[in-house]
């Protein structure tokens, strides 16, 4: 028939031949026996299936279809384990069926290990005895080629194909496929994206719809913005390199992403794998390429970004409780060469009346850059201790840096004690591995070693007796090494001076092992070697674990050890700031974005970096205000303090090689600081309540617009604005010479917190004025913000009266709500509990002629003991003034005053003294409503008549 058609219509011959050629090509590519010779892998087939745990888990054997040698030989048999972990999470685990492989230790991320998963096979088989013997069945004997795992009550569904093996995760409510690794032909390279599993190369792909919006996969400074960009490869490898470098791997490794689809439905995907990897984001899919470990995937059902973060942090660990003082303004510099310089900085901040919560000390304070020591000449210990005591007497804090490299020196107690406990990383031959950082020759503690935690706690404890610091700052913990390679040594005649930031060892790396130079080369830092500026991959951790496997969790393991040590040593809520992190690190540490640049680009990039950290479960995060390197300048620093004042963590920090940049050095910067920092300090109760929410649910403090408005697709591409909670929108200037900002205002009614000008938006961009001393900060209607009085320290803020900012939109019938968390922030925990905390919910409602604000208190004793009370209520968006007032049903006393500003629609109720520890209700009526209604009606009639 076809050939007859062609003879009759010869003009179609070419088209028919082309169609037949395309069909033949497709069949050829789909056939494992005829795929291109550079095919990395041909996939696996399912040969055995068991449902266990009453159908909540599945175990299957996968057999290799065909061998290849690309990136090494394939592993012949795999074990697949699928579990409905809880009501909103599915785990898919794939590993070597016969040999145990490296996995992230369960004491860092608690979960069932491979051995425990394997044991399921020997416990609760399906009652169908034939399945218990299916280990030896071949594919034709399996009756159903696609067998879904049955759990009808779960929001997600797992299904798979048997030959070639692939699996899919589907949302039951709408049938949408969220993750699909079923093999298909890749249009990018003409090769089939089968599952590949080799000793040093694992590959898994998922197909994605065109409208998927992906966020995550860090850490990196992404020039494209917050949303992941198609066509990019995101490499995960902990690297000591300045964050001013864009689009490369930085200090941390976060193999997790959030996928937001049409309508705002979201889900999360986490890969618990600490090996180096490339995440290749193509036009129609995402491919993970790992150089070791296992496939251990977790799928979080959402269905909102907020729920994804809740589910994710429930799994990896809720964000750590933070002391209230960490929300203050911090000053730091690498280059305060003497104690006198530090004292002068503190004095100048006091002199000009700017808040200063904590002074930070970089490595300058150390004696020859050795941890837990003090330079006797530049930081005399007795005077240094007096300085820190004075800070504490003034309700200020002191935070100090420590690095993991421990100086090799027989008279240095931390080194001696570490050597006695045998807790340093080893070479393949069993000797301590030698590296070089600021002190010169160093050994690296192995924080996976059980005794390392004991040693680290001892060193912190001994130093705390000398210097009662308030927080520890962990730097260089990727770990950093100024020398690169597995074969580095100090020649006998070489003396390596301290503070040398280039390698003075001899490194002969002509012959390196497959661990330092694996078959597949991830694209870390422009394709540099894995050992570049870090520990060799052949170094050994406890239990003979290769650094090749554990590199990306080195900083994670140090933060866990530090957090536990501080709890034990100080008996107070710890504060740990770390550079290198991994999913789960937020349960122990805060973060800053590292060595950023003093540039307009870096100012803009800082927003996406902070928002990403929040998505990774690290809500206490900031970027070095005014930039770390090189020298900053007045206009940039002026704009940077305006936005930095609203980072969750606000710190000015700069590099020794360039000039200082304290906020008092330029008049315009000081002026802006005096404008924005008081607002930050007034908002501290609101921000601290957000930290409590983060600790309980994982929700970030600084939030991307898509996180709060996922149903609005325009928000997916907004990377230069952010929200504090759901209520406050920050729209900064991030470009040179600009006096306005083109800000996206999501749907709603918003009020400027500086001048009370309103925006009634349907979801649009607005051009907002932003003169040199102005940043646009808007509060959203429907919220109640707890605020306190401005003071130069957070301790004074905490003891001041409370103001409630109640934000309406101006319509007749509406409501608003908010909450306030108060506690003793020296307590280890941050839970709502009696005696040490108080939690208050506020609800406001109004009609045209009346309204009320009510509080409901849990465990009010603590707030009462602190003497906290509400002294003012500010009602924004009130169209008519309140004329009478009832407090808990009784007329208000004479000391309570009412002030109404018609121009800004703001009603103030002041002179209150309502205990924050007791329920209250403040109700008002507006007697002018009837008059205003008549006037409005007459105005409307006149308009109609004139028309």
Rounded (10°) angle between helices 634-644 and 600-615: 20
Q: Taking a C-beta distance cutoff of 8 angstroms, is the pair 715, 225 a contact?
A: no
Token pair, residue 567, equals: 């709890």
Q: Taking a C-beta distance cutoff of 8 angstroms, is the pair 114, 294 a contact?
A: yes
Comparing C-alpha atoms, which of 161, 160, 165, 195 is closest to residue 90? Answer: 160
Whole-angstrom Cα Rg for the chain: 31
Tell me if the bond preceding 421 is cis, omega within 30° of 0: no
Residue 480: φ, ψ to 5°: -85, 150
Q: Which 3-state string (H, E, C) describes 121-158?
A: HHCCCCCCHHHHCHHHCCHHHCCCCCCCCCCCCCCEEE
One of 203, 249, 357, 478 is an active-site residue; which one?
478
Token pair, residue 455, equals: 């040693």
Distance in Å from the first CA to the final CA of the chain: 75
**Beta-bridge mates of residue 256:** 270
Element (H, E) at 89: strand 89-96
DSSP E strand boundaries for 469-511: 471-474, 488-489, 506-507
- Order of strands across the sheet with 89-96? 44-52, 57-64, 77-86, 89-96, 295-300, 266-271, 254-260, 213-218
Query: How many Å apart are CA 538 and CA 426, to the nearest integer?
Result: 9
**Beta-bridge mates of residue 426:** 432, 540
409 catalytic? Reply is no
Q: Taking a C-beta distance cutoff of 8 angstroms, is the pair 523, 233 a contact?
A: yes
Comparing C-alpha atoms, which of 629, 37, 651 is closest to residue 330? Answer: 651
568 catalytic? Reply is no
Q: Taking a C-beta distance cutoff of 8 angstroms, is the pair 176, 273 a contact?
A: no
Element (H, E) at 550: helix 547-550
**Beta-bridge mates of residue 743:** 766
475 catalytic? Reply is yes
Tell me if the bond preceding 901 is cis, omega within 30° of 0: no
Q: Taking a C-beta distance cutoff of 8 angstroms, is the pair 608, 227 a contact?
A: no
* Distances, alpha carbon 168 to alpha carbons 114, 213, 788, in Å: 22, 19, 51
Token pair, residue 69, equals: 């040698």
Query: How many Å apart are CA 605 and CA 222, to the nearest integer?
Result: 7
Q: Taking a C-beta distance cutoff of 8 angstroms, is the pair 856, 836 a contact?
A: no
Q: Which residue has the tokens 């808007």?
A: 778
**Beta-bridge mates of residue 52:** 57
One of 432, 446, 470, 595 is an active-site residue; which one?
595
Query: How many Å apart are CA 556 and CA 562, to the nearest integer?
Result: 10
Which residues are the active-site residues?
A: 475, 478, 595
């Amino acid at each position: 028939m076809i050939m007859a058609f062609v003879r009759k219509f010869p003009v179609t011959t070419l088209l028919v031949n082309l169609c037949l050629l395309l069909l033949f090509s497709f069949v050829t590519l789909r056939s494992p026996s005829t795929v291109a010779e550079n095919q990395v892998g041909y996939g696996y087939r399912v040969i055995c299936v068991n449902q266990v745990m009453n159908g909540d888990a599945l175990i299957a054997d996968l057999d290799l279809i065909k061998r290849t040698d690309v990136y090494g030989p394939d592993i012949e048999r795999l074990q697949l384990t699928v579990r409905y972990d809880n009501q909103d999470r599915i785990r898919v685990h794939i590993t070597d069926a016969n040999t145990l492989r490296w996995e992230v230790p369960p004491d860092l991320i608690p979960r069932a290990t491979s051995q425990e998963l394997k044991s399921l096979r020997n416990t609760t088989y399906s009652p169908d005895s034939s399945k218990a013997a299916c280990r030896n069945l071949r594919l034709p004997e399996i009756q159903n080629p696609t067998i879904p795992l049955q759990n009808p009550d779960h929001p997600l569904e797992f299904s798979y194909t048997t030959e070639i093996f692939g699996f899919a995760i589907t949302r039951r409510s709408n049938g949408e496929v969220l993750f699909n690794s079923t093999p298909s032909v890749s249009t990018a390279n003409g090769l089939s994206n089968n599952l590949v599993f080799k000793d040093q190369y694992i590959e898994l792909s998922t197909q994605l719809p065109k409208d998927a919006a992906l966020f995550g996969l860090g850490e990196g400074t992404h020039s494209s913005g917050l949303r992941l960009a198609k066509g990019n490869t995101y490499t995960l490898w902990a690297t000591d390199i300045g964050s001013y470098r864009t689009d490369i791997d930085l200090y941390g490794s976060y193999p997790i992403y959030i996928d937001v689809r049409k309508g705002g439905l979201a889900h999360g995907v986490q890969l618990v794998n600490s090996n180096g990897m490339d995440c290749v984001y193509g036009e129609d899919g995402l491919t993970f390429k790992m150089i070791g470990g296992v496939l251990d995937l977790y799928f979080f059902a959402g269905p909102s970004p907020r729920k994804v973060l809740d589910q994710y942090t429930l799994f990896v660990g809720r964000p750590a409780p933070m002391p209230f003082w960490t929300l203050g303004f911090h000053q730091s510099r690498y280059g305060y060469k003497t104690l006198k310089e530090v004292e002068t900085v503190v004095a100048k901040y006091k002199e000009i009346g700017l808040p200063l919560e904590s002074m930070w000390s970089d490595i300058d304070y150390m004696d020859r850059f050795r941890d837990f020591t003090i330079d006797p000449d530049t930081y005399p210990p007795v005077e240094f201790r007096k300085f820190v005591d004075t800070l504490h007497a003034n309700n200020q804090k002191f935070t100090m840096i420590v690095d993991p490299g421990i100086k090799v020196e027989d008279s240095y107690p931390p080194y001696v004690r570490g050597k006695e406990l045998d807790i340093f990383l080893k070479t393949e031959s069993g000797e301590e591995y030698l590296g070089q950082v600021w002190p010169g020759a160093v050994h690296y503690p192995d924080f996976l070693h059980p005794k390392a935690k004991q040693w680290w706690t001892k060193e912190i404890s001994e130093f705390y007796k000398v210097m009662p610091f308030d927080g520890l700052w962990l730097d260089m913990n990727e770990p950093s090494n100024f020398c690169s390679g597995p074969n580095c040594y100090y020649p006998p005649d070489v003396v390596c001076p301290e503070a040398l930031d280039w390698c003075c060892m001899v490194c002969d790396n002509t012959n390196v092992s497959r661990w330092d130079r694996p078959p597949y080369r991830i694209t870390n830092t422009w394709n540099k070697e894995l050992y570049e500026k870090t520990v060799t991959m052949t170094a050994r951790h406890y239990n003979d674990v290769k650094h090749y496997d554990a590199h990306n969790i080195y900083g994670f393991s140090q933060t866990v050890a530090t957090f536990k040590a501080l709890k034990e040593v100080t008996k107070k809520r710890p504060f740990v700031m770390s550079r290198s992190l991994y999913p789960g690190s937020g349960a122990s540490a805060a973060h800053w974005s590292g060595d950023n640049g003093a540039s307009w680009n870096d100012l803009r990039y800082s927003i996406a970096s902070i928002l990403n950290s929040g998505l990774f479960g690290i809500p206490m995060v900031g970027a070095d205000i005014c930039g770390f390197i090189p020298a900053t300048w007045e206009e940039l620093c002026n704009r940077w303090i305006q936005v930095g004042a609203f980072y969750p963590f606000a710190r000015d920090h700069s590099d020794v090689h360039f000039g200082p940049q304290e906020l008092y050095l330029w008049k315009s910067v000081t002026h802006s600081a005096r404008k924005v920092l008081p607002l930050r300090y007034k908002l501290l109760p609101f921000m601290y309540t957000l930290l409590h929410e983060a600790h309980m649910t994982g929700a970030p403090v600084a939030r991307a617009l898509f996180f709060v408005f996922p149903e609005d697709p325009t928000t997916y591409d907004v990377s230069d604005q952010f929200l504090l909670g759901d209520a406050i929108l920050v729209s900064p200037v991030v470009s040179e010479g600009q006096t306005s900002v083109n800000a996206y205002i999501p749907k709603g009614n918003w009020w400027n917190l500086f001048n009370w000008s309103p925006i009634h938006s349907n979801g649009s961009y607005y051009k907002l004025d932003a003169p040199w001393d102005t940043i646009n900060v808007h509060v959203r209607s429907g919220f109640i913000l707890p605020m306190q009085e401005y003071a130069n320290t957070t301790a004074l803020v905490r003891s001041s009266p409370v103001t409630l900012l109640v934000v309406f939109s101006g319509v007749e019938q509406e409501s608003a709500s908010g909450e306030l968390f108060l506690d003793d922030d020296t307590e280890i925990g941050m839970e709502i509990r009696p005696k040490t905390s108080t939690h208050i919910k506020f609800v406001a409602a109004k009609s045209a002629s009346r309204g009320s604000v009510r509080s409901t208190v849990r465990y009010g004793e603590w707030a009462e003991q602190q003497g906290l009370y509400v002294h003012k209520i500010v009602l924004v968006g009130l169209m008519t003034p309140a004329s009478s007032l009832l407090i808990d049903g009784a007329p208000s006393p004479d000391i309570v005053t009412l002030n109404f500003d018609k121009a800004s629609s703001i009603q103030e109720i002041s002179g209150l003294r309502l205990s924050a520890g007791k329920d209250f209700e403040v109700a008002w009526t507006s007697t002018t409503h009837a008059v205003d209604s008549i006037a409005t009606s007459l105005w409307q009639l006149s308009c109609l008549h004139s028309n």
